[in-house]
Structure 1
Amino acid sequence: MVEFSKRVPADGTDAVGVILNSASDPNVISFAGGLPAGELFPIKEMEKATDEAYEKHGEAAMQYGSASGVVELRKQLLKRSEEKENIKAELKNIMMTTGSEQALDLMGKTFINPGDAVLLEEPTYLCAVDVFRSYGAEFVGVEMDDNGMRTDKLEEALKAHPEAKLIYTIPNYQNPSGRTMSLERRKKVAELAAKYDVYVLEDNPYGDIRFAGEEHIPSIKSFDTTDHVVYTSTFSKILAPGFRLGWVIANDYLIKKLTVMKQSADLQTDNLVQYACSAFLKNNDIDAHIKEISKVYSERKDRMVEDIKKYFPKGVQCTNPHGGMFLWVTVPGVEDTVELFKQCLKHNVAFVPGDPFFGTNPVPGTFRLNYSCMPIDKIDEGIQRLGKALQEAIEN
């Protein structure tokens, strides 16, 4: 019998994949996937940008390239990062990745040995949990509230685990909760990273998609005076996920290490996509495009929250994010959220159960809803179906 790596789940199952695939039935209204609204993709503009990439950089676009990425695009992203996130960095501090998902994998590969402690918000991004677990991480959950990761609990965890290799956080419109970390806590996270000599991986896929609340809060990386914070972001939520284009900003020593790890994975990120995105940024107002996305998502989120209040059983709670793509639901009295998912699927409506979003002990009765990719009428119908299914689950 073939013996697989310990990174492969022992039972051979893909629980999340099964859930998402079962929700792909056209009769099912699915709030499960983390999909942006496809009708908002700038297809015509990207077609022109791709044509320009071929015209001006055709040979380079089709040839092997630098693992660090296309220089023109990296310069544009450094400028944008300084303007939007208050991050001051140089060309040697940024590298392109095949989606921000690769950034997670490279960080895991670079830092984590079996048994190493990784501190993370709970709940948190389920794919980050999967990636870090595949390298043998031992998770230490850090409690959250409406202002994001609690830094008092973070310091307690750091004191208890001085050997910790990494702190993982999504400070803006967090996946899955939709919560945003306060300014004071961002400063404190950077301070604790320096104090305890541990790297912070600041994952920011959603930060541009803001539709309520205060002005944009600067990144944790902007308060990093000791090079302990690694910042990553992506084009997946503001242009298109199919491009698989992300980036990492970190100290040059770490960038060199990550580049070596990347070369052993895929040599380089797609050159054509990089040149095309660079042309798009040059010729279009990406902030106007993001504003359009944010307006649509705001309307869909507001309707979902209104419908939850109207159709869900009393006592059910949900977050009310100021941006991003997700909200988090808690149903008191439900012990098995996967079984709840199965019951809801009978009503032709789907979500992602909360269990995979926890590195340690899942909180029962929790699940994630996505509002970005469903039109208003589908949100209305889907939340009504979900409300009926929840009522039946509670009564039974």
Structure 2
Amino acid sequence: MSFQKPKGTVDILPSEVKTWQKIEGTARRVFSQYGYQGIRTPMFESYDVFVRSVGDTSDIVTKEMYDFEDKGGRRITLRPEGTAGVVRAYNENKLYGPEFPKPYKVYYMGPMFRYERPQSGRQREFHQIGVEALNSESPQVDVEVIDMALNLFKNYGVSNVKLVINSLGNDATRDSYRQALIDYLKPFYEKLSPDSQERLYKNPLRVLDSKDETDQKIVEKAPSILDYLDDYSSKYFEDVKRLLDELGIKYEVDSSMVRGLDYYTHTIFEIMSDSKAFGGKYTTVCAGGRYNGLMKELGGPEGGGIGFGLGVERLILLMQQENPDFSDETGLDVFITSADDKGNDLAFKLMHDLRMQGLKVDKDYEGVKLSTQIKEANRQNAKYYIVLGSNEVQSGKVTVNKFDSDEEINTSIDELKSNAVQLLK
């Protein structure tokens, strides 16, 4: 019998986890600068949470969700995205009370699940970093969220990105545009893909998001949603663009961009890169937008929200190309080698004392020869190594050797036990 990981999943090994941890730590630091706090929601939710929020005509619901009945007969879904669960938690825990700030700012990190064809940078279990600013409707909040996303990429050392924005307006906009889009697409009905034919009368905006090449050619000349914005939506979008200009943030407007989830309203955006990591073709690495109405749809009060999500796997592909030195390669502070049994006993005790001072320390456990131990210390990228044997045990004196120079520190074992951090500065 062969035991292998499920298709569409990967093992993230210790050599790679360093990069993941630094990516996550950088995100936490940047988000905290903007007043965001962490939130953790379940990896599975009621099926209805996603059908009501994401939309029953979206690819996620119709094709990609992992849903099943549990032993209690409840229909459960592994989360395919982060926003719906965060909004559900916000409502259920009544975080909209007067004692809580508006907007209520949170970030999350964790695995998501979609049943789709595995490909470079996207698996069936993938990992997402996202933020949500809840219970607020303001162009300033929209621009702050966009600014934060771009600042995050700056902190990742990735400058080869561009910002693309659009507005989906409000319900009045959608109603007007929906009919105009149906009227435009009806003559092309027989040429549309089966998915787009099914969506034409249910949710024609989904046709604009089709990945089918024929569909994409058909919608190239479709009417622009920006021509159907009502006065409020138009002013809102103009304010967003003005604020971006005032902050010196460059952007492009793409009136055909609709995003893949039904809950979006007003401002939507994507951060894209044409890095060699993606074959020089513009690929979305971060995306989000405003979702007024979602809180109420999931049983909460009236109130808007905006957020974004970025896939960590795709981000890592980008960073390997654009900032390959990002990974944290910091190794051990000290590796302790032993020349004999007495040295080995002392090494084990000294290792404990050094660790209690906050140092990263390891030793040999296999009893290999001394030269092999020193090679292992170098392989683990240790800054210093110490050789312990009967002489060091008897004298109480020790030499600390630095790997990248001829520097030696001659000291006592007692001094190392009590003051190693200062000695090794």
| TM-score w.r.t. length of structure 2 | 0.23
Higher-Rg member (1/2):
2
Instruction: Considering fraction of residues, name the structure with more strand.
Output: 2
Larger relative contact order (Cα-Cα within 8 Å, sequence gap ≥ 6):
1
| TM-score w.r.t. length of structure 1 | 0.24
